Structure 1
Amino acid sequence: MPIRALVFDVFGTLVDWRSGVAREVERLLGNDHPGLDGGSVADAWRARYQPSMEEIRAGRRAWADLDTLHGESLDDVLGQFGLSVSPGVRYELVLAWHRLDAWPEVPGALTRLRERFLLAPLSNGHVALMIALARRNRIAWDAILGAEFARDYKPKPEVYLRAVQALGCRPADVLMVACHSSDLAAAAACGLSTAHVARPDEHGPGRGEIKPEAPVDFIAADLSDLARQLNA
């Protein structure tokens, strides 16, 4: 069966989380903390991403959305950097993850792909977060799937399989698109088709995956390249 739908990792694959978070950190804290390196804060915050979700994946904690987890991780990061902020600034910092910009080719490539395929995010971000990023970057989705829909976090199989079910497809008919080989390996284990998109600067210049570290069905230099390979 041909590919009928594409589902996407979002943070890193579609949006440049590091630059966006660094920008917001420096905007909100820079006046009180001259010379603060927003990139270092973003890196420290992201380093707490997987550990925070693991508590839920392991069943040690009830479901909580990414805003909640980001807020809890932020408190640790602020302590690490010796920063003190008001509740209002803390709230705005959490919303930094809602104000991320897409990589330059992404909106146009998604518009092309949507002419041929069903499209949905398959992210660890919750629905409100996915809506904010879509509106900011003028992205039109056919559905919003992922963590909140499955009430669990990738790479748990339920997250991928619930998305396939919601789209009315077989696993192989759905193409998981990501710049993280671990995400793609988990999707492939559930029977999904997979596409790796290189994001060599995800974690800063020269600090991202340039090629897959697991078998995939498509290897693309960016999302426009993937659209070309899919004849979109």
Structure 2
Amino acid sequence: MTMLAAPSILAFDIFGTVVDWHGSIVGEMQTLHPQVDADAFALAWRAGYQPAMQRVRSGELGWTRIDILHRMILDELLPKFGLDHLGELERAELNRVWHRLDPWPDTVAGLTRLRTRFTICSLSNGNIGLLTNMAKRAGLPWDCILSAEVFRAYKPDPATYLGVADTFDVPPEGVMLVAAHQDDLAAARNCGLATAYIERPLEFGAANVKDVSPDAANTWHARDLVNLAELLGC
């Protein structure tokens, strides 16, 4: 494959791209609450994510960290799964599952290789505390942790993508968003960023295999992060 000129900053989406949110939540639920349909619970919790952020975007809620939104969704979800008896300590601990999501098997090796040539950072709607705890536990070798919290705007607001370029004092084309979500990548391209799609067919679990077909609009398309490192000469 002909090598293309690559940006100097790689910004990574986190949930689904770098870490396996579905598998991690399913694993915890199967251990803590084996009577619950763990797959359905994980999917329902994640399904509340965009509607919750929309309440902030619309002005119904002021700026709110994702930890707080996750807890709001959780509290609404528990009665539907027969878990409304959980106390405050149990709810708080369960909510922190998002801080301890497991990386995909290729993640740490891929990031480590990419870091030898590029500056790598997170670009997630997750808040800084969440992303820091996740990185510490999973060994994610970020050069910098950036979050929507820094820019007080959730992706796909242009302030997030352009904020990365501004942080590192490079033009938008000096940044590449790496993500497993085509809508995220499309929004980044609209801001002038390069884009790399990462195949995560099992993001929503084995019963809900995701279409990972290439989109020619992306700069790169890779099987996983190790493959992306290979493509970029790392």
Give the TM-score, by structure 1 length: 0.94
C-alpha deviation, 1:25, in angstroms: 2.1
Structure 2: which 5+ residue stretches go unaligned? none
Q: What is the distance in 1 between the residues matched to 2:130 and 2:19?
A: 12
**Equivalent in the alignment of 1:63:** 63
Q: What is the distance in 1 between the residues matched to 2:77 and 2:215?
A: 30
Pair 1:226-2:228 in alignment: yes
C-alpha deviation, 1:22, in angstroms: 1.4
Give the CA RMSD over aligned residues: 1.4
Q: What is the distance in 2 between the residues matched to 1:214 and 1:9?
A: 20
**Equivalent in the alignment of 2:33:** 29
Post-superposition CA distance 1:196-232 (Å, at most 9, x none): 0000000011522412457211011111111111101
Identity of aligned residues (%): 43
C-alpha deviation, 1:143, in angstroms: 1.2
8 Å contact 1:5–1:117 — kept in the other structure? Answer: yes
Q: How does 1:1-232 map to 2 (within 5 A)?
A: 2-30=6-34, 34=35, 36-84=36-84, 85-205=86-206, 207-213=209-215, 215-232=217-234
Give the TM-score, by structure 2 length: 0.93
Q: What is the distance in 2 between the residues matched to 1:26 and 1:214?
A: 39
8 Å contact 2:66–2:125 — kept in the other structure? Answer: yes
Bigger mean CA offset, 129-138 vs 56-65 = 56-65
Please state whether the residue corresponding to 1:194 is helix, strand or coil. Answer: strand
Please state whether the residue corresponding to 1:144 is helix, strand or coil. Answer: strand
8 Å contact 1:185–1:214 — kept in the other structure? Answer: no
The structure-2 alpha-carbon separation of the partners of 1:81 and 1:213, relative to structure 1 and needing over 3 Å to count, comes to farther
